[in-house]
Amino acid sequence: MIRSRVARSYCRVASLRTADAFRDYLAQIGVELPFDERVEAGAGAPLAQPYLMKSGHTVGNRFCILPMEGWDGTADGRPTELTARRWRRFGLSGAKLIWGGEAVAVRPDGRANPNQLMMDERTAGDLAALRETLVAEHASRFGHTDDLLVGLQLTHSGRFAHTPGSQPPSRGRPIHTPGSQPPSRGRPISPSFLYHHPLLDARAGIPPDAPVMTDDEIARLVEDYVRAACLAQRAGFAFVDVKHCHGYLGHEFLSAVDRPGRYGGSFENRTRFLREIVAGIRAQAPGLLIGVRLSAFDFIPFRPGPDGVGCPVEIPRCARNDKTPYPWAFGGDGTGLGIDLAEPCAFLDLLAALEVELVCITAGSPYYNPHVQRPALFPPSDGYQPPEDPLVGVARQIAVTASLKQHRLALRPGLALVGSAYSYLQEWLPHVAQCVVRTGRADFVGLGRMALSYPDMVADVLSGRPLQRRRICRTFSDCTTAPRHGLVSGCYPLDEFYRARPEAVELAGLKSRKRVW
- As a three-state string, the secondary structure of 98-136 is ECCCCEEECCHHHCCCCCCCECCCCCHHHHHHHHHHHHH
**CA separation for the pair 148, 168 (Å, rounded):** 34
Half-sphere exposure of 447 (CA within 13 A, CB side): 31
Q: Is residue 103, in this structure, part of any structural domain at all? A: yes
Across 69-83, 163-177, 381-395, 419-433, least confident range: 163-177
Between 516 and 102, the more confident residue is: 102
Q: Is residue 470, in this structure, part of any structural domain at all? A: yes
Contacts of 267 (CB under 8 A, 6+ apart): 343, 346
In order of 118, 183, 495, the CA distances from 77 in angstroms are 5, 11, 25
| Banded pLDDT at 517 (limits 50, 70, 90) | very low
The CATH number linked to 474 is 3.20.20.70
Q: How far is CA 9 from the centre of its chain?
A: 28
| Average of per-residue pLDDT across 145-157 | 98
Predicted pLDDT at 204: 86
Predicted pLDDT at 159: 95
Give 70-112 pLDDT, tens digit per residue. Answer: 999 999 999 999 999 999 999 999 999 999 889 999 999 999 9
Across 11-15, 111-115, 180-184, 353-357, least confident range: 180-184
**CA separation for the pair 142, 58 (Å, rounded):** 16
Encoded amino acid at 428, one letter: W
Predicted pLDDT at 323: 80
| Banded pLDDT at 263 (limits 50, 70, 90) | very high
The answer to whether 34 and 432 are in contact (CB under 8 A) is yes
| Banded pLDDT at 189 (limits 50, 70, 90) | very low
Taking every pair of Cα atoms in the chain, the longest distance, rounded to a whole number of angstroms, is: 62
**CA separation for the pair 27, 78 (Å, rounded):** 48
**CA separation for the pair 434, 39 (Å, rounded):** 7
Query: Beta-carbon neighbour count of residue 513 at 10 Å?
Result: 10
| Banded pLDDT at 515 (limits 50, 70, 90) | low
Q: Is residue 109, in this structure, part of any structural domain at all? A: yes
pLDDT at 393 over 70: yes
Q: Is residue 183, in this structure, part of any structural domain at all? A: no
| Banded pLDDT at 429 (limits 50, 70, 90) | very high
Half-sphere exposure of 223 (CA within 13 A, CB side): 6
Q: What are phi and psi of 392, to 5 degrees?
A: -65, -45
Q: Is residue 336, in this structure, part of any structural domain at all? A: yes
| Average of per-residue pLDDT across 343-361 | 97
Query: Beta-carbon neighbour count of residue 56 at 10 Å?
Result: 6
Predicted pLDDT at 123: 98
**CA separation for the pair 257, 251 (Å, rounded):** 12
Give 205-249 pLDDT, tens digit per residue. Answer: 899 999 999 999 999 999 999 999 999 999 999 999 999 999 999
Across 43-47, 293-297, 377-381, 411-415, least confident range: 411-415
**CA separation for the pair 227, 196 (Å, rounded):** 29
Q: What are phi and psi of 240, to 5 degrees?
A: -120, 145
| Banded pLDDT at 321 (limits 50, 70, 90) | confident
| Banded pLDDT at 302 (limits 50, 70, 90) | very high
Q: Is residue 167, in this structure, part of any structural domain at all? A: yes
| Banded pLDDT at 400 (limits 50, 70, 90) | very high
pLDDT at 409 over 50: yes
pLDDT at 453 over 70: yes
**CA separation for the pair 163, 115 (Å, rounded):** 11
pLDDT at 35 over 50: yes
How many helices and strands, by DSSP H and E, does the chain display?
Answer: 18, 13
Contacts of 501 (CB under 8 A, 6+ apart): 490, 492
Look up the domain containing 121 and give its range. 5-178+188-513
**CA separation for the pair 208, 275 (Å, rounded):** 30
Instruction: Tell me how many domains the chain contains.
Output: 1
Predicted pLDDT at 190: 56
Query: Beta-carbon neighbour count of residue 75 at 10 Å?
Result: 18
> Which has the closest alpha carbon to 92: 151, 139, 42?
139
**CA separation for the pair 491, 240 (Å, rounded):** 27
Give 470-495 pLDDT, tens digit per residue. Answer: 999 999 999 999 998 999 999 999 99
| Banded pLDDT at 513 (limits 50, 70, 90) | confident
Which residues partner with 98 through β-bridges? 65, 150
Predicted pLDDT at 163: 65
> Which has the closest alpha carbon to 475: 401, 364, 394?
394
Q: Between β-strands 289-295 and 97-98, what pairing exists: parallel, antiparallel or unpaired?
A: unpaired
**CA separation for the pair 95, 462 (Å, rounded):** 10
In order of 40, 55, 67, 287, the CA distances from 355 in angstroms are 33, 9, 22, 12
Predicted pLDDT at 411: 80
Predicted pLDDT at 205: 87
Q: Is residue 107, in this structure, part of any structural domain at all? A: yes
